[in-house]
Amino acid sequence: MKQAILARFLRYVSIDTQSDPHSTTFPSTYKQVEFAQQLQQELIELGFSDVALSDKGYLTATVPATVDNVPCIGFISHLDTAPDFNGANVKPQVIENYQGQDIALGDSAVLSASQFSSLTQYIGQTLITTSGDSLLGGDDKAGVTEIITACHYLLQHPEIAHGKIRICFTPDEEIGAGADHFDVEDFGAQWAYTIDGGEIGELEFENFNAATAVITAKGNNCHPGSAYGVLVNALTMVARFHAKMPLKDTPEHSKDYQGFFHLVDMGGSTEQAQLTYIIRDFEKEQFEQRKQWLTEMVEKCNAELKDSSISINIEDSYYNMKQQILPHPHIIEIAKAAMQQLDIEPKVKPIRGGTDGSRLSYMGLPCPNLFTGGHNFHGKHEYVCLDSMEKAAQLIIKISQLTAEQKA
């Protein structure tokens, strides 16, 4: 299984599937559809049933049940890779029997255990890294690889008892749109797992409540030579606004269950300028307080202005899936038991981000998140442990078995 995973993963990451947050189409990039079309043909050739690619870029398929009266469950990963770092011309490096040494990533970057302590747990194992000038794409082509490999194994071994299994590969997860056109009713699963986590053992059913706030300043432009008493610089306004933000209430100063404001974009001109923040908090009450605080900040700034104005628009993105999953504890217990039977220590932790599962859980499909075996996603220091990827595939198989056993 390990070699099949390696070959499949190396093939998938060579395909550029970055999404585009500025696109007006869905999916945001056609190259995601092209990848889905390749996977569609592959799934048909491997013997999957009900293989279908929707006009919105969602690829679904079925592994038929080998026993009756078992809940239909699902496994989900996403097709796209992050748009905020180069995702083209990926040239992965395979490091066999890693011994703790620094790994050169091209000519200018190094993957070092002194900087990334997670490397020390992989002595003697096989790592797959970038070549230093792109991301790797393990988020989430590792998940795609693991689902296809595990489910193909089940197709090849009908003696393994399991119920009906549905799989789906979604577009545009990285830009927060992966669940926009997901058809929960058509998918037909009672619950599902996204395979979109990090290191081996991760089991996540809590995530941030999330919103995006766009703050727009309107000024008045004129020639700087005749600007006295006339020019109002919108760029200066947004700069002063950001200077009032709490200095350490940011991602780089927060961890665990701490929330933050994160400035992700700023720009414009003298006439009009914008700041875009993402707002994150695990607790719903604190999440609402953050949004209210930012709104009041805008009101205070407007009160100080004479000839200009600042406006704010806040849109919620997703909510903490915990409230939708806790009423179904068996979903978590099956995943924990499966890990333990595979000698994997479950690492239950909150997601400091979101997955398709966070939105799907609120759409009626409870959907916690499982590990892929990757680290340092979205950048040149990204790497995946091949041995962990094999364990992730085995976990999918084991969860399918235990679901059947529990029902029996």
Tens digit of each residue's pLDDT (9 = 90 or more) over 339-380: 999 999 999 999 888 789 999 999 999 999 999 999 999 999
Among 16, 139, 146, 173, the active-site one is 173
Q: What is the pLDDT of residue 108?
A: 80
- Decide which of 3.40.47.40, 3.40.630.10, 1.20.1050.10, 3.40.50.2000 is the CATH code for 2-206+320-407: 3.40.630.10
Structure-block tokens of residue 116: 């990334």
73 token code pair: 């469950």
Q: Is 382 a catalytic residue?
A: no
pLDDT of 306 > 90? The answer is: no
Q: With 0-12 CB in 10 A as exposed, 13-18 as middle and 19+ as buried, what is 252?
A: exposed
Q: Is pLDDT above 70 for 178? A: yes
User: With bands split at pLDDT 50, 70 and 90, how would you rate the model's confidence at 217?
Assistant: very high
**Within a 10 A sphere around the Cβ of 19, how many other Cβ atoms?**
25
134 DSSP assignment: S
Average pLDDT over the chain reads 95
Residue 268 predicted with pLDDT over 70:
yes
Ranges of H-type helices in 79-183: 138-156
In the CATH scheme, what architecture does the domain 209-318 have? 2-Layer Sandwich (3.30)
CB 179 within 8 Å of CB 76? no
pTM metric for this prediction: 0.90
Q: Catalytic: 271?
A: no
Query: Can you give the pLDDT at residue 120?
Result: 95
| Integer Cα distance of 48 and 284 in angstroms | 41
pLDDT at 307 over 70: no
Catalytic residue among 80, 139, 202, 281: 80
Taking residues 220-238, report their average pLDDT: 90
- The helix (run of H) or strand (run of E) holding residue 357 is helix 356-362
Predicted confidence at residue 308, as pLDDT, reads: 67
Decide: 335 and 203 in contact? Cβ < 8 Å.
yes
Predicted pLDDT of residue 345 = 97
In the chain, the percentage of residues whose pLDDT exceeds 90 is 91
| CATH 3.40.630.10 location in the chain | 2-206+320-407
* CATH 3.30.70.360 domain locations along the chain: 209-318
